[in-house]
Structure 1
């Protein structure tokens, strides 16, 4: 039988948007979807479905019967961290105080562009319909979590046909908790779902959902050596191109 959905998410918004707020229409006609660069952004970009499947099919092997499903996921798309936002805001300060005309790739800044961080209280929070400048933004964490829920039902709906009450687990991180709630909302109102919160504090003890602070062997820097091998020199080339297009 279907026991529970484990939805460990590592961050979301303080607002549970029930209605679509008033706001600007999409600027997608100016800058495009930019989907081509998603594979190169890693965790800095929105979620997208990878074109490959690594050869692992979601279909059951012949002769097998599914008895239980457990899903483990991260938080949805979020605003930058406070530390990363300092760099972004410093760049925006330079751009917003430029008195000339932007050309080429930056020309969209000439047309009443609104900086996407409108409120510093949103930093590190889930992006939602309520806290996003563009109300038609297709990449909010809120909408992605709800879409994920519908895809889950499409794939495993038969597992919950006779199981209307179950639990969804989340860590105590705000963005994780909110993403879990958006996932629950996306499942619809025919289920009686209890949202169970597991603390991320060390006092929570050993658990498989929020082990960061409670696991003595946890190493935040374990992958630093791998990351340092990636060259970021290409960014200098991009900066030179943008500066050449718009000369002060």
Structure 2
């Protein structure tokens, strides 16, 4: 080969290395970022009160595994972003804000330090009628969240609808939950919503017994005291924040509990507005502590830290198990809408997000295996998929089940040998049936109340409740319209 040919070959090789084989770039921006900043995202510390964020993924592909097809889907979704309730939330915020304003009434100086923004800030509940309602404006609006989830799920699961059948949508009987169900339905069914979807409202009354999306456990001796105690819980970091604000603004006398209320208020503000200056008034360490306060509440009051709540979660897991065993002939789509405290018991009953050890009350475990912001933020949702799969190198042909929490696949620890780390239906059924304690044995529900969930089989196809009948009442909560 001549020297000229060798030179030409060498230049061609150098050119291919520079451009990359097949035109792939070898220089410039990195293909994969080396920075992962979700751990510093404030939405991971606003707990259940702040806007929705996708769950931190384990890296398992969210899309249906190759060779599989979802033939049944079950969604259990929390209402979207909302205004605070007045009782227990808004009333506390107004009290703290009034306390702060009183200290400045006779002082010509303005707010200073981390609270300097208060010279221009106004409380975001400008109409008290909005307390308890879904937010309809802002970057994190709840109604938009629900509608968007519906459009996304139409893309994922639209093949399950024959475009002829009327599909039931199940909602507990709470105004903001019903509105979420309606907007999800409009997103999923589009122009066909008014005729092809049927909103079924299931009362939240305890008299529903087990035939409920919101079953209660009257035998639980600590449920009420657990919740009440949790709302007054603080941590040392919140006391540090109070001392800082007080020193920057003489005369101010905030307590750690006042700070807890202000941080709650900040989380809710993002449900209504695109930005809250309160977020920057607190350090990230203080937000970490605040988030853990709520992790403790959910874990012990309505999560895996309570055997009674695990039993409550079995109402839904057992009903959906029976539907999965029957297959698509029993229905292919089950859209259900509830509150946060109705989802955490189900997640616990599935054996998901259960720490190896109970959460400590006096220190924060790092890493924390039970993070409420990854389970039930506003708009949080659990999705169960029944999949029919072909044989693969890893698994045999058959029917499998996957759990998805806030758009991240969460494998079952005891069963993950199917495609996409799914669980064979037979094994999944055994996990659910063998789980203890059982709702009927643990919760001592009145024998005069329904003893099992029935509405997934006996629902109405009327469109009577697809749209709001008249104006929404003042601070409306429980409702049947």
Regarding TM over 0.5, the answer is: yes
- Structure 1 residue runs of 4 or more that deviate by more than 6 Å after TM superposition: none
1:118 corresponds to 2:126: yes
Q: Cα deviations across residues 115-139 of structure 1 (Å, max 9, x unaligned)? A: 112233322222223xxxxxxx212
* 1:64–1:42 CA distance, 2 compared to 1 (3 A): same
SS for the counterpart of 2:167 is: strand
Structure 1 pair 184–244 and aligned structure 2 pair: CA distance change class (3 A): same
CA distance in 1, matches of 2:152, 2:219: 35
Q: Counterpart of 1:78?
A: 82
Quick one: structure 1 residues 96 and 154, their matched pair in 2 at CA, closer, same or farther if it must change by over 3 Å? farther
Equivalent-residue separation in structure 2 for 1:183 and 1:218 (angstroms): 33
Q: CA deviation digits over 1:17-67, x for unaligned, max 9?
A: xxxxxxxxxxxxxxxxxx8322112112221112x2245543333432221
Q: Does 1:150 align with 2:148?
A: no
Inter-partner Cα distance in structure 1 for 2:101 and 2:139: 25
Indicate whether 1:63 and 2:63 are aligned. no
CA–CA distance in structure 1, aligned partners of residues 168 and 135 of structure 2: 24
Q: Given the alignment, which residue of 77, 80, 105 partners 2:114?
A: 105
Q: Cα gap change, 1:124/1:101 in structure 2, threshold over 3 Å: closer, same or farther?
A: same
C-alpha change, 1:61 and 1:90, in structure 2 (3 Å) is: same
CA drift of 1:109 comes to: 2.1
CA contact (8 A) 1:125 1:175 kept: yes
Q: In structure 2, the residue corresponding to 1:197 is in which secondary structure?
A: strand
- TM-score normalized with structure 1 length: 0.69
CA 1:217–1:123 in structure 2 vs 1: closer, same or farther (change >3 Å)? same
Number of positions where the alignment pairs a residue of Structure 1 with one of Structure 2: 202
Shift of 1:87: 1.7
Give a deviation string over 1:155-185, Cα, whole Å, max 9, x none: 2233336456311110101111111112123
C-alpha spacing 1:115/1:232, structure 2 compared with 1 (3 Å): same
Go from structure 1 to structure 2 and tell me whether the alpha carbon gap of 1:218 and 1:63 turns closer, same or farther (over 3 Å shift).
Answer: farther
**Which structure 2 segments of 5+ residues have no match?**
1-39, 252-481
**Corresponding position of 2:210:** 206
Give the alignment of 1:182-193 within 5 angstroms. Answer: 182-187=183-188, 188-191=190-193, 192-193=196-197
- Residue aligning to 1:236: 239
The verdict on how the C-alpha distance between 1:159 and 1:217 changes in structure 2, with shifts beyond 3 A counting, is farther
Whether the 8 Å CA contact 2:203–2:212 is kept in 1: the answer is: no
- CA gap of 1:53–1:186, structure 2 versus 1, over 3 A, is same
Following the alignment from structure 2 to structure 1, what is the Cα–Cα distance between the partners of residues 126 and 226? 32
Long gaps (5+) in structure 1: 1-34, 130-136
List aligned pairs for 1:16-31, cutoff 5 A.
none
Give me the whole-angstrom Cα distance separating, in 1, the residues matched to 2:222 and 2:149: 28
Paired residues of 1:167 and 1:193 also in contact (CA < 8 A) = yes
SS state of the match for residue 114, structure 1? coil
Shift of residue 223, structure 1, vs aligned partner: 10
How far apart, in 2, do the equivalents of 1:199 and 1:218 lie?
21
User: Equivalents in 2 of 1:118, 1:233: separation in Å?
Assistant: 33
- 1:210 Cα shift? 2.3
CA distances 1:173-226 after superposition (whole Å, capped 9, x unpaired) = 1111111112123232234211110111123232251213xx54567729949x
